[in-house]
């Protein structure tokens, strides 16, 4: 596939514009590290919300969700619970406000708020920095793989020797990924959070237009009859039983026989026993969401808001501005791919690379001019995610390592310069890992199941249990991260007997989670509780609910007028309503593209009803 000169020109102009914007805002961002990493806590919540959504609207994830929707149908709306996507609901209902009340710059710095400044707090601080860096490098390698595969499908070959390309087809993918990462790194390094937010808001506008255009093209080109002809029974249902319940060999005779291979793909993914898979996702997702955000760009947006109330509003906006346009585009791409599968899909059916079908659909169905604009939008999706990730990592290196342990009395300009170097170093390592990664799905599963399995237990306990201390946090994180790194290498044989035998990362989550819990509890009970001053200060400042009764008694002795947080049941009710609300925001654009009108109006009705409930029982009751 080759782009027209007009399309290439649009893409080049867009890339030049992002560089100019980054340079333009660099002076404002370089005043101090508070401005560089958090935008000086001066950015409005709605801009941060759009920026956060834009960062999540990544190209690699979009390619993966197109694959999931094509193979699993409407049941695929549950699969992103692997991340889990409903963590945004926990954030908007109560965790964002709790986190913002800490008034810190990074997740590692937050450790002082909860555990004080002792030896155990220092160990906990270091282990959070390590986790943050490992997580960020994982996400960078994931983005590197996705954008390289996407760009190489369209743009001219940078390596023209056919013998080289036949032997190493990934060369052009990696070169394009390097070029786009270099451009993005420039404006992130120069402009910090200001640059990231401003460019991401612009990129979101491009992405929204691109998403609507792709959905409309699909609706105009593919009739409901053509869609139905290529789908197996149950594809349009979000319901499921013990098994996924899809048989791609029983499709219309007019459909591509290549679609029969989807049955094998389902088995390779490890999702055939969908009921068990769903319960595993739900188990993992609830604990992970209750742990609060991982130390990445999502946490940085929360800490960048002006107040706890605005932090909650920002997290709610992410669901509204991200899901409908993104899934409108994903549904459009999916039906175009399924109806024209013979023409579009060129990869081996035994080793599917459905992640690459997105660029084939665009090249085939989008006209000149609009294709360049859509390409710019999808490249913007990659740049948004990459920029947000790069901006999050140096805060841990500079603020939590360099400033705290190496040079605590340096000038603000010195810290900003060190941030430049830290950004570049993180990008280089992320690219190096990206070179050895073979699949987008491979990275996603390891991060969301294995690595986050080691993060979950200690980060749940830190919010809700007063007795949990810094040593428990350190040993819980250390044992969990260690297990996440070692289990994939050991690939323990007993895990292969589980119903999800083909999905090792999901199998490994409960094992890693249990190891991390054991480390957390032993580390806590073998050491002293945190001192009263630290616990009282944290409880009064953050005001969590949970098992804090001994600390509450001491707070009331000092301040009899202190009001205990009694919002647990209301918060949990709002979480349930919020998850239904979020799911309807995902479902209705898919039903719209499919023209399944009864299901579409039901989804819209759920959206309206849940929105009204949240307005009166959550939004109206927000407080700082």
Quote the CA–CA distance of 42 and 48 in Å, as a whole number: 10
What is the reported pLDDT for 188?
60
Q: Tell the burial category of 567 from Cβ atoms under 10 Å away from its Cβ (0-12, 13-18, 19+).
A: middle
Sign, CA dihedral 482-487-492-498, equals positive
User: CA-CA-CA-CA torsion for 465, 471, 474, 480, nearest 10 degrees?
Assistant: -70
Chain segment 25-58, per-residue pLDDT in tens? 655 555 555 555 555 566 789 988 898 888 777 7
Quote the CA–CA distance of 421 and 412 in Å, as a whole number: 15
Higher pLDDT, 400 or 351: 400
Residue from 405, 432, 436 nearest 418 by CA: 405
Are the beta carbons of 278 and 243 closer than 8 angstroms?
A: no
What is the reported pLDDT for 390?
67
Are the beta carbons of 338 and 260 closer than 8 angstroms?
A: no
Asked if the peptide bond before residue 487 counts as cis, ω within 30 degrees of 0, the response is no
Instruction: Count other Cβ atoms within 10 Å, centred on residue 239.
Output: 8
406-425 as b/e: b if 16+ CB within 10 A: eeeeeeeeebbebbbebbbe
Chain segment 571-593, per-residue pLDDT in tens? 999 999 999 999 999 999 999 99
Domains and CATH numbers, the chain: 5-80+93-261+296-438 (1.20.1730.10)
Outline where 222-307 has alpha helix (H).
224-229, 262-269, 274-290, 297-304
Higher pLDDT, 520 or 442: 520
Chain segment 62-71, per-residue pLDDT in tens? 778 888 999 9
Whole-angstrom CA distances from 383 to 51, 60, 421 are 12, 11, 19
523-535 as b/e: b if 16+ CB within 10 A: bbeebeebeeebb
Q: What is the rounded average pLDDT of the residues 444-462?
A: 75
Compute the mean pLDDT over every residue in the chain, rounded to the nearest whole number. 80
| DSSP reduced 3-state for 465 | strand
User: CA-CA-CA-CA torsion for 140, 146, 148, 153, nearest 10 degrees?
Assistant: -170
Lowest mean pLDDT among 84-88, 105-109, 160-164: 160-164
Q: What is the rounded average pLDDT of the residues 424-440?
A: 70
**Residue 259 pLDDT more than 50?**
yes
Q: What is the rounded average pLDDT of the residues 507-522?
A: 87
Q: What is the pTM of this model?
A: 0.84
Are the beta carbons of 22 and 195 closer than 8 angstroms?
A: yes
**Residue 1 pLDDT more than 60?**
no
């Amino acid at each position: 596939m080759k782009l027209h000169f007009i399309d290439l020109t649009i893409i080049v102009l867009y890339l030049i514009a992002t560089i100019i914007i980054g340079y333009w805002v660099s002076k404002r961002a370089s005043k101090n590290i508070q401005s560089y990493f958090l935008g000086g806590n001066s950015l409005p919540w709605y801009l941060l919300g759009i920026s956060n959504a834009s960062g999540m609207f990544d190209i690699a994830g979009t390619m993966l969700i197109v694959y999931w929707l094509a193979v699993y149908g409407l049941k695929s709306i549950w699969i992103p619970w692997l991340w889990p996507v409903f963590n945004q609901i926990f954030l908007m209902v109560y965790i964002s406000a709790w986190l913002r009340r800490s008034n810190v710059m990074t997740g590692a710095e937050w450790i002082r708020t909860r555990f004080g400044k002792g030896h155990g707090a220092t160990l906990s601080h270091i282990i959070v920095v390590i986790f943050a860096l490992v997580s960020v490098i994982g996400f960078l390698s994931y983005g590197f793989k996705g954008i390289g595969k996407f760009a190489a499908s369209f743009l001219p070959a940078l390596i023209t020797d056919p013998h080289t390309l036949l032997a190493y087809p990934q060369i052009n993918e990696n070169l394009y990924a390097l070029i786009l990462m270099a451009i993005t790194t420039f404006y992130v390094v120069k402009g910090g959070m200001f640059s990231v937010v401003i460019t991401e808001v612009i990129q979101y506008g491009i992405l929204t237009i691109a998403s609507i255009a792709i959905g409309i093209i699909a609706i105009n080109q593919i009739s409901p009859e053509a869609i139905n002809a290529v789908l197996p029974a149950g594809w349009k249902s979000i319901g499921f039983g013990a098994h996924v319940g899809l048989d791609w060999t029983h499709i219309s005779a007019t459909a591509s026989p290549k679609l029969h291979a989807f049955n094998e793909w389902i088995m390779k993914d490890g999702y055939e026993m969908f009921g068990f898979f769903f319960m595993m996702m739900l188990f993992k997702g609830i604990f992970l969401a209750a742990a609060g955000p991982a130390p990445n760009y999502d946490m940085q947006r929360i800490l960048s808001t002006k107040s706890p109330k605005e932090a909650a509003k920002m997290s709610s906006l992410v669901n509204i501005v991200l899901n409908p346009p993104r899934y409108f585009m994903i549904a459009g791409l999916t039906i175009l791919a399924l109806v024209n599968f013979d023409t579009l899909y060129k990869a081996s059916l035994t080793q599917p690379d459905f992640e690459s079908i997105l660029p084939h659909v665009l090249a085939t169905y989008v006209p000149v001019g609009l294709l360049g604009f859509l390409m710019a939008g999808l490249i913007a999706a990659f740049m948004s995610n990459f920029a947000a990730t790069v901006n999050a990592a140096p805060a841990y290196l500079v603020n939590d390592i360099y400033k705290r342990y190496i040079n605590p009395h340096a000038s603000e300009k010195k810290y900003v310069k060190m941030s430049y170097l830290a950004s570049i170093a993180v990008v280089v390592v992320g690219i190096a890992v990206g070179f050895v990664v073979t699949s987008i799905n491979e990275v996603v599963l390891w991060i969301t199941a294995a690595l986050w399995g080691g993060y979950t237990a200690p980060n749940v306990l830190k919010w809700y249990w007063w007795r949990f201390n810094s040593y428990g946090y350190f040993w819980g994180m250390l044992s969990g991260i260690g297990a996440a790194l070692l289990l994939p290498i050991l690939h323990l044989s007993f895990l292969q007997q589980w119903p999800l035998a083909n999905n090792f990362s999901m199998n490994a989550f409960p094992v890693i989670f249990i190891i991390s819990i054991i480390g957390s509890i032993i580390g806590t009970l073998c050491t002293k509780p945190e001192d009263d001053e630290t616990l009282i200060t944290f409880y009064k400042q953050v005001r969590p609910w949970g098992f804090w009764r001994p600390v509450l008694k001491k707070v009331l002795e000092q301040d009899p007028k202190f009001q205990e947080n009694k919002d647990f049941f209301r918060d949990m009710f709002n979480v349930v309503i919020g998850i239904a609300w979020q799911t309807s925001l995902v479902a209705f654009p898919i039903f719209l593209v499919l023209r399944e009108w009864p299901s579409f109006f039901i989804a819209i009705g759920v959206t309206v009803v849940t929105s009204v409930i949240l307005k009166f029982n959550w939004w109206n009751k927000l407080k700082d």
